[in-house]
Amino acid sequence: RRNSQRPVALPLPASSLSASAPQSVVVSAEPAPVYSHAMEESALELVFNSDVPARMREMLQAFKQTEGPASRKQLKSICRNLKMAGEEFDLPNWIELIEAVEKAIANPENSYRSLAPTVIKDIKQAQELVLCGQEAETRSRGKTQSHAAARGRPRNRF
């Protein structure tokens, strides 16, 4: 993310002032950030090698809790965090996968027992693809996608 810069007004020395000269000059409080591809890659590697696995561990612990609104809310929060990583580095397929995971988790018909292995495996695979520079290969796969889509299906009640 780019730092927002706040301008600072600095007084000019008296020797440089004239009748029509302004009394201050606005300069940036921080030097302009220099972003390079290497710095972005380094940041991506840091996030996807440390933050993403940490979120996956949190997710695994949440899946071990009793199913209910509180644990689903916690899982949704973890998904939001994972999604922000994709937004930070402009990874649309990662974002799509995490959105599918989020939808699957939101559906109370999906048990944690069925979701956990699929979701963790899909996120782990996507993480590896991102780190290999193959984010375009990241897709919400079979079971995660079917869990996400299940919410829209009408339930049969007999």
Q: Encode pLDDT of 40-67 as tens digits.
A: 778 899 999 999 999 999 999 999 999 9
Q: Measuring CA to CA, how many Å separate 99 from each of 62, 92, 94, 140? A: 18, 10, 9, 9
pTM given for the model = 0.67
> Phi, psi (5° rounding) for residue 90?
55, 60
Q: Encode pLDDT of 113-136 as tens digits.
A: 999 999 999 999 999 999 999 888
Q: Which residues pair with residue 27 across a beta bridge? A: 8
Rounded distance between C-alpha atoms, residue 101 and residue 37, angstroms? 30
> 20-32: buried (b, 16+ CB within 10 Å) or exposed (e) per residue?
eeeeeeeeeeeee
From 7-21, 44-58, 76-90, the region with the lowest mean pLDDT: 7-21
> Phi, psi (5° rounding) for residue 49?
-95, -20
